[in-house]
Structure 1
Amino acid sequence: MAKIYAFCNHKGGVGKTTSVINLGVGFSRRKQKTLLIDLDPQSNLSQSLGLEEKTGNNIYGGLKGDYVPEPFAINKNLHAIPAVLDLSGAELELAAVPARELLLKEIVEQVKNPYDIILIDCPPSLGLLTMNALAAADEVFIPVQSEYLAVHGLKKIMETIDIVHKRLNNRLTLGGLFLTQYDKRKVLNRDIRETVGEAFGQKVFDTVIRNNIALAEAPVEQMDIYRYKKDSAGARDYAALTREILQKNLA
């Protein structure tokens, strides 16, 4: 049965899309049949995978009820459902739809059977699209940028997860947090790591994603970090985080 993970943070630029792509590839390399769902109107995940032209079979049409999206194959064990810019209007278009927070859950129920893991890339907001992701997910992963303002917003995310758990999805739990853009030479980054650890304890992954230029360059070439620069710090960090997530789930 597929495990469904939503990657959520209402602050932009924290590494959600980068994490979804590279963890997805990491899982697929470990023979986990994996599906990525792009739920962000910016469509960065779709663009990074070369799916921005696949406009006739996307999550937007699925949410509107036009069809059940058919995932595109990225490799043998990795598939994806892309987004399009039209998704930015979904919150208004779906406002009057009954049970609108459960539309993604219905789609996931219809496509999940072949998969071991499903990763949902949420938009940088806590609006209807993110609510759909949380209503469909088993666990939430929160990438946390290694700076003060990113940590400051965690309280709001946790409140939202708690509300969704109570009202929409009693399976939903916090899967974990991990730090991104981390530089151990900076006192602030080390302080942030300590602060997050004190607040969330064992929910914080040991692995941190270091500040690495290759992670920013890879999407430009429509590559994951392993194909772009397999020996980079970014590749090593995401491989380590992949192992840690799998180990926790198998424990």
Structure 2
Amino acid sequence: MRGKIIVIGSQKGGVGKTTTTLNLAYSLREMGKKVLTVDFDSQANLTTCYGIEDTGALEYTIGHLMMAQIEEELPENFEDYIQSREGVDYIPSSIYLSVVDAKLRTEMGAERMLAEVLEPLRSRYDYILIDTCPALGMLTINALAAADEVIITVNPQLLAMMGLQDFLRTVGKIKKRINPRLEIAGILLTMCESRTTLCKVLTEEVTESFQGKIKVFQTRIPATVKVGESIYYNMPIAQYSKKASAGIAYRKFAKEIIAYEG
């Protein structure tokens, strides 16, 4: 088995990256897939979603693994770094990742560090999902350099749409210069208020703009209060509320991802 590494990315914050990483992971797990999620953001929001409140106290995080790789002291055994919840494995993050971010700027071959960290783990999983920070810095470049595919989350509001072109340009450059196997799996529209005219107009705009060039996933993730509530209680939506429309949408999206791979 050689697991597929998928980055959940966007240049904007507040577009559902972390929520998508968490819920897609659980939905894929429900379908019998082995999944690892990597919190690759120093804000550690995904780590908090797994119920870890004091992320600053963590001694084994993706930041520590990255630093070990920079110092060429990567451990042979990853067990201390990989935690598990409800059958989904994850590598947590903390503010320490921002120290690594600063150090990467002075390192040779800095773009490939995460790829080298994750390579030994590919054989254990069907999917490795990476949650990224909302900036096109060295960490996001590392994530894209390690990935086979990127899912771009877009909140169909004007400002989120404007960041999309910049992100696509970055993906194109990384494919050309660093990681030729990188592909865009597609654009996932999140926080869709289907009743609002703006959401409908922008959804159509995205679909028309990229038709034939970039896949726009059929699944749309609806805006629902249950998403915020489930995050507050550190649970995937489907677990928090079996009938929540967003939970049903994420299960449908997981099926779409598996079908896409097939």
**Which bracket does the TM-score occupy, shorter chain normalised?**
over 0.9
Match of 1:215 in 2: 227
1:140 and 2:141 aligned = no
Q: Which residue among 133, 157, 176 is the counterpart of 2:186?
A: 176
CA distance in structure 1 between the aligned counterparts of 2:165 and 2:194, rounded to whole angstroms: 25
Match of 1:89 in 2: 99
CA distance in structure 2 between the aligned counterparts of 1:109 and 1:97, rounded to whole angstroms: 20
CA distance in structure 2 between the aligned counterparts of 1:33 and 1:53, rounded to whole angstroms: 27
- Counterpart amino acid of 1:226? A
Identity of aligned residues (%): 34
Q: Which runs of structure 2 are paired with 1:198-237 in the superposition (5 Å)? A: 198-201=208-211, 203-237=215-249
1:106 and 2:116 aligned = yes
Question: Quick check: 1:43–1:52 contact (8 Å CA) kept in 2?
Answer: no
Question: Quick check: 1:180–1:211 contact (8 Å CA) kept in 2?
Answer: yes
CA distance in structure 1 between the aligned counterparts of 2:138 and 2:219, rounded to whole angstroms: 31
Deviation at 1:230, TM superposition (A): 1.4
- Counterpart amino acid of 1:93? K
Match of 2:29 in 1: 28
Match of 1:75 in 2: 86
- Counterpart amino acid of 1:135? A
Once the two structures are superposed, residues 94-141 of structure 1 have per-residue CA deviations (whole angstroms, 9 ceiling, x without a partner) of 222211111100011022211000100010001000000000000110
CA distance in structure 2 between the aligned counterparts of 1:6 and 1:210, rounded to whole angstroms: 21
Deviation at 1:220, TM superposition (A): 1.2
- Counterpart amino acid of 2:244? S
CA distance in structure 1 between the aligned counterparts of 2:227 and 2:84, rounded to whole angstroms: 22
Q: Which runs of structure 2 are paired with 1:179-194 in the superposition (5 Å)? A: 179-194=189-204
Deviation at 1:215, TM superposition (A): 0.6
Deviation at 1:56, TM superposition (A): 1.5
Deviation at 1:67, TM superposition (A): 4.2
- Counterpart amino acid of 1:10? Q
CA distance in structure 2 between the aligned counterparts of 1:51 and 1:246, rounded to whole angstroms: 29
Match of 1:57 in 2: 60
CA distance in structure 2 between the aligned counterparts of 1:20 and 1:197, rounded to whole angstroms: 22
Secondary structure class of the residue paired with 2:187: strand
Secondary structure class of the residue paired with 1:194: helix
Match of 1:4 in 2: 5
Q: CA RMSD in A?
A: 1.3
Which region of structure 1 is more displaced relative to structure 2, 45-54 or 93-102? 45-54
- Counterpart amino acid of 1:25? Y
CA distance in structure 2 between the aligned counterparts of 1:18 and 1:3, rounded to whole angstroms: 20
Gap runs ≥5 in structure 1: none
Deviation at 1:52, TM superposition (A): 4.7
Secondary structure class of the residue paired with 2:220: coil
1:38 and 2:49 aligned = no
Q: Which residue among 238, 253, 256 is the counterpart of 1:241?
A: 253
Question: Quick check: 2:36–2:89 contact (8 Å CA) kept in 1?
Answer: yes
CA distance in structure 1 between the aligned counterparts of 2:63 and 2:194, rounded to whole angstroms: 40
CA distance in structure 2 between the aligned counterparts of 1:135 and 1:52, rounded to whole angstroms: 30
- Counterpart amino acid of 1:63? M
Gap runs ≥5 in structure 2: none
Deviation at 1:88, TM superposition (A): 2.0
